[in-house]
Amino acid sequence: MVGLTSDRAMGSRHRAGRRSLPWVGLAAALWLGIGGCSSSTPTPALTPTSTAVPTAMPTATTTLAVTPTPEATPGRPEGTARLMVPAGAPHLDVHQEVTEGLISVGPGMVYSRLLRLKAGPGVALPSQQVECDLCESWEHPDSLTYTFRLREGVRWQDRPPVNGRTLTAEDVAFSLLRLLTPGTPGATLLSGLESVEASGPLTVTLTLASPDADFLGSLAHGQAKVVAPEAVAVNGHLREGPTIGTGPWILESRVGTKSEYAGNPDYFEKGLPGLEMLEVEVAADSEVRLATLLVGQADITTLPLEMRERLQGREGSVQTGRFPQPGTGLLMGLKTSEPPLNRVEVRRAVYQALDPWEALREAWDGQGEVALGVPVERREWLLSEEELREYFGDRVEAGRLLSESGVALPVPLTVSVADFGDRYVALGELYKSRLESVGFEPTLEILNPRVYAERIWEAGDFQVFLGPIPPVSGTNRFLSGLLHSRGIWRITGAVDPELDGLIERQSVAEEGRGEVLRELQRYVMDQALLFMPVTGSSLWAWRTRVQGFAPNFASSEYLHWARLRVTE
């Protein structure tokens, strides 16, 4: 038995509370995951920081989870597909960077993980359901322990210094402990992991410091890759390689803005990948990506949402799809700790004054959804549109609520809008107009990206804000970070024991989590704390020769590239 214990087990835990945020200095929109492409009105990316997850004592359960891998499309890998993306990899170390250009559309495709997210035409998005990748099954005998049985016969790609040897449990343990290195992004991703043990040649036992219903989702995140110790030992890091994994792609070349990935003939899933070669090229300019696609020099690319209309009439040669990006989007938050929004009737009146679906159509071309915004494992855990609409769009009810609140009319209100493009300002103007119609006296405050980050997310200085949310990969990070009274952001200022209790219950729930989450969402909406008027999504366009494109972009998932095929 080989035992490996994380330094986190003896170090300090993350503590909730406001702290300096590493993205405060951003002055322009960045690429958000795959979807926030370069455009006149991009969706910005704000680098995430850690959040402390409140704990509670659950009832211990014993579960045996066996996740069969769906059968791959049969057939011999054939052809080459050309993928164009807005940004590339700054270096090659997948544990030290969270950009999608590295993790999910770059060199990170070479690697496998213990778990991955389900994807395919049968998966209702958004979804963060997990399935085995390198494992063949796992056991969960109590609330703190997970034991994974690895697939037999998985081999590293046949390149020095790893030379095609068989994957072992020690490789997995090494990789997870490397992810936990203090100061690296993975230390946040797996912050609840207490110890890692290679308890057999193909068995890995993981122990948590406290129960965490998001833990399997964290293991399935695109950054939680398994790397070879010998590869790391070459330079002490992987920033310059060697890039050697157990995944479906082999990095053949990386020159300038273009990388080439050959299908791995020894990949452990039969029938994958479906291509002989995948070429990935970086083009920051969305006009260049669109033109390259239309002339047939690229097969698939991502584009700004507003470019969709420029592809109309080309259905015979180009297809399009809009895919959700859970944990991203525009957030509207209300400050509950100061008058007049310390009165729930006033906050509810704000909601009832608005018609976010109408505004979504007018200012955002209907690209996205209205929701609370919390990323969840299954779409059915979200409130339906019908239920959400009960909280919005009734101006008579808004007037009644203001009258009952006892606040003198008109009610002055400052709405701080992040200026990441014309759409953001247009959405703010629509909301301002609706608020004026029910008895508010709103003032729009347009903030450049740097000031927005400093004023709203660092200082919490606002009454109502409308702007992007730092991307959060899991349910607990969203809820405990933004809404728990000890959360790192606690953006609304609410201190609510009932809400804290709901967050803590769902954070450790192993049965019935969906119902607790629905109850929690209803509570947040009833208290009118925050909601997402535009959920994050991305537009992809691909030529009809590309078959099998059914992605899941949550948590930097990427196996969908291996399922592509092309016809000539």
User: Would you say residue 20 lies in a domain?
Assistant: no
- Enter the tokens of residue 203: 């068995």
pLDDT computed for residue 550 by the predictor: 96
pLDDT value at position 187? 87
> In this predicted structure, which of 294-298, 324-328, 555-559 has the lowest mean pLDDT?
324-328
Say whether both 198 and 174 belong to one domain. yes
337 shares a domain with 223: no
Q: Do 445 and 337 have their domain in common?
A: yes
Is pLDDT at 19 greater than 70 in this prediction?
Answer: no
The whole-number pLDDT of residue 185 equals: 85
Per-residue pLDDT, averaged over 182-207, amounts to 93
State the average pLDDT for the chain. 87
Assess whether 350 and 241 both reside in one domain.
no
Q: What is the dihedral of CA 195, 131, 521, 13, to 10 degrees?
A: 10
Residue-level pLDDT at 263: 97
Give me the pLDDT at residue 237, please: 97
**pLDDT for position 48:** 31
Mean pLDDT for the stretch of residues 193-201: 96
Contact 195, 206 (CB under 8 A): yes
Count of domains observed in the chain: 2
Distance CA 172, CA 121 (A): 30
d(CA 79, CA 231): 30
Higher pLDDT, 27 or 354: 354
CATH number of the domain encompassing residue 330:
3.10.105.10
**20-45 pLDDT tens trace:** 333 333 333 322 332 333 333 333 33
Residue 365 has pLDDT above 90, yes or no: no
401 is a domain residue: yes
Does some domain include residue 281? yes
Mean pLDDT lowest among 56-65, 396-405, 422-431, 463-472: 56-65
* CATH code, domain carrying 264: 3.40.190.10
Does residue 313 fall inside a structural domain?
Answer: no
Which residues make beta-bridge pairs with 329? 535
Q: Is the pLDDT of residue 516 over 80?
A: yes
Same-domain pairing of 169 and 255: yes
* Residue 260 token pair: 């080439």
pLDDT value for 20: 33
- According to the model, what pLDDT value does residue 33 have? 30
According to the model, what pLDDT value does residue 21 have? Answer: 37
Structure tokens at 259: 């990388």
Residues 241, 378: one domain? Answer: no
- What is the structure's pLDDT at 74? 55
* DSSP one-letter code for 225: B
312 belongs to a structural domain: no
103-133 tens-digit pLDDT: 999 999 999 999 999 999 999 999 999 999 9
Local confidence band at 376 (pLDDT 50, 70, 90 cut-offs) = very high
Expressed as residue numbers, the domain containing 154 is 63-299+545-566
Q: What is the pLDDT of residues 519-561, one digit of tens each?
A: 999 999 999 999 999 999 999 999 999 999 999 999 999 999 9
pTM assigned to the model: 0.83
In terms of DSSP bridges, do strands 203-208 and 193-200 run parallel, antiparallel, or are they unpaired? antiparallel
